[in-house]
Structure 1
Amino acid sequence: MRSRHHFHIEHAGHSVSATVETGHTAVVEILVDGKETGYATTPDEHPVTVRVELPTDPPTAVAVRVTPGPGVPRCLLETPGAEPHIMSPRPY
């Protein structure tokens, strides 16, 4: 059975959101400031990292690490030179 989970974080003045659709193949969509900037699929519950850029000057490369399972998915925002930030789940 497929389920959709949403995560969000504000970082460096920008909005980063992740939608994780679980099932036999997990589908991950990353939005930065409301625009789709990253997309990935992964089989079953295998973790996946999606690399995106924040529109700073110059652009900042960040990554969203998604663990679709087991259980409830988890998302972390990885930024250069800092510990990963936990992305908060959002009900939709």
Structure 2
Amino acid sequence: MSRRHHFHIDHRGHSVSATVQTGHRPVVEVLVDGKETGYARGDGDRPVTVPVELPTDPPTTVTVRATPGPGVPRCLLLTDPDGEPLVMAPRPY
């Protein structure tokens, strides 16, 4: 049985949202400022990474890493290889 989970964070003046659909083949959709900019399918409970660009000048590449399970899904925003990952807050809708 699949279920949809929503996550959000504001970073560098931009809205980054992720929807994680759990199930046998998880799906992760990422929106930046309300526009779909990334999509990936996963395999079981393995983490799924989705690279996206923030519309800054010049564009900034970030990565959303979603862990669909086991248990409740989690999402992180990875801003650079040496930086701390930012936790994306779950949204109840």
Decide: shared fold, TM above 0.5. Answer: yes
CA distance in 2, matches of 1:27, 1:79: 21
Deviations, residues 7-64 of structure 1 (Å, cap 9, x unaligned): 0000000000000000010000000000000000011111111000000000000000
Letter in 1 for 2:71: G
- Given the two structures, how large is their TM-score scaled by the length of structure 2? 0.96
Q: Return the structure number with greater strand share.
A: 1
Is 1:38 matched up with 2:38? yes
- Given the two structures, how large is their TM-score scaled by the length of structure 1? 0.97
2:65 counterpart residue number:
65
2:20 counterpart residue number:
20
CA distance in 1, matches of 2:16, 2:89: 11
Which consecutive segments of 4 or more residues in structure 1 shift more than 4 A?
Answer: none
How many residue pairs get matched?
A: 92
Q: CA deviation at 1:82?
A: 2.2
For structure 1, the 5+ residue unaligned runs are: none
Percent identity, please: 73
